[in-house]
Structure 1
Amino acid sequence: MIYRTLFGAPGRRFGASLKELEEMQQRMDRLFNGFRDRSAGRVGVGAGVFPAINISEDTGAYYVSAELPGVTSADLEINVTANQLTLAGERKISKEAADARYHRREREAGRFSRALALPGDIDADNVKAGLADGVLTITIPKAEKAKPRQITVQ
């Protein structure tokens, strides 16, 4: 009874301490993964994934948009297969003076590659891509067998 009065219910603080330890471990994992990715020559933006990509769909196609600031169409390679899109390229940033001291360095340069599994089969012959204002937009038509069909009830 005296223990409970002085220190609170046993286990209440212990659970909070475990939660704090788990959060600290997650932060450390993110920190060390960022160092590992940079030392391996990978480009990391935000959560360590570049470029940031959105994938959406309607009944006829999938739409992929990727943020690629500073990347030209000549620096991109886009490949599609039955249900996979691979986006690769190189982000180039102009060099600063050799004696430049950074106060903050968040813009990285280098090669990148993302392979994305699409939810269904695609028509690889009719894929279209465009790059405007640093945003790559890819329209990927669905294969005929992947499109929904209206069935008439008799």
Structure 2
Amino acid sequence: MFARRLFDFPSVGWQHQFADLERMSRQMDRLTQAVTGRPGMNWLSARVFPAVNLTEDKDKYYVRAELPGIKADALNIQIVGRNLTITGERTIPSEGENIRYHRKEREAGKFSRVIGMPGDIDADQVNAQMVNGMLTVAIAKSEASKPKQITVS
């Protein structure tokens, strides 16, 4: 009986509350577009570029980063301690002066990602390759961080 009362909302008032929230959201979107020139509140969302995956096997960690349109020689890749840093700049050609955007999600500018490795690494054994906009960095694990098989006698 208590659960029934707890979730027994009046249907008109409940729907009306969400209608008010939707109306306020539309007003905030219009205000944001007037101030920033971008539709909606996209400027508040965190954009992380490039998107990366970090995986491992027995001997290495692998960082794969999506970098479409960026040339390999425009990247700066460094290892410091247990961190891999990928830095570069993404440029997007101008689409003209008289263009009005309806949606703009592709951003240009400098970027930097620092990816922490979950274990110790051998910074002298790092290999990076760029194929079709996909950067793959293979980082050897240090001998101390590799699993050791222990036999029981």
Deviation at 1:103, TM superposition (A): 2.9
User: Residue in 2 aligned with 1:71?
Assistant: 70
Pairing 1:153–2:152 present: yes
Name stretches of at least 5 consecutive residues in structure 2 with no aligned partner: 29-39
Pairing 1:49–2:48 present: yes
Q: Percent identity?
A: 47
The structure carrying a bigger strand percent of its residues is: 2
**Separation in structure 2 between the aligned mates of residue 149 and residue 81 of structure 1, nearest angstrom:** 26
User: Residue in 2 aligned with 1:11?
Assistant: 6
**Separation in structure 1 between the aligned mates of residue 4 and residue 57 of structure 2, nearest angstrom:** 55
Counterparts of 1:17-36 in structure 2 under 5 Å?
A: 32=41, 34-36=42-44
Cα offsets for 1:49-76 (capped at 9, x unmatched) = 1111111101100011010011111221
SS in 1 for 2:114: strand
Deviation at 1:13, TM superposition (A): 4.7
Say whether the 8 Å CA contact 1:77–1:88 is kept in structure 2.
yes
User: Residue in 2 aligned with 1:44?
Assistant: none
User: Residue in 2 aligned with 1:43?
Assistant: none
**Separation in structure 2 between the aligned mates of residue 13 and residue 118 of structure 1, nearest angstrom:** 50
User: Residue in 2 aligned with 1:97?
Assistant: 96
**Separation in structure 1 between the aligned mates of residue 93 and residue 118 of structure 2, nearest angstrom:** 38
**Separation in structure 1 between the aligned mates of residue 5 and residue 150 of structure 2, nearest angstrom:** 63
**Separation in structure 2 between the aligned mates of residue 87 and residue 136 of structure 1, nearest angstrom:** 10
User: Residue in 1 aligned with 2:137?
Assistant: 138
Say whether the 8 Å CA contact 1:75–1:91 is kept in structure 2.
no
Pairing 1:84–2:83 present: yes
Deviation at 1:104, TM superposition (A): 2.5
Name stretches of at least 5 consecutive residues in structure 1 with no aligned partner: 38-46
User: Residue in 2 aligned with 1:128?
Assistant: 127
Structure 1 ranges of 4+ moved more than 2 A: 8-11
User: Residue in 2 aligned with 1:62?
Assistant: 61
SS in 1 for 2:89: strand
Q: What is the TM-score when the length of structure 1 is the normalising length?
A: 0.72
**Separation in structure 2 between the aligned mates of residue 9 and residue 59 of structure 1, nearest angstrom:** 54
User: Residue in 2 aligned with 1:42?
Assistant: none
**Separation in structure 2 between the aligned mates of residue 134 and residue 95 of structure 1, nearest angstrom:** 21
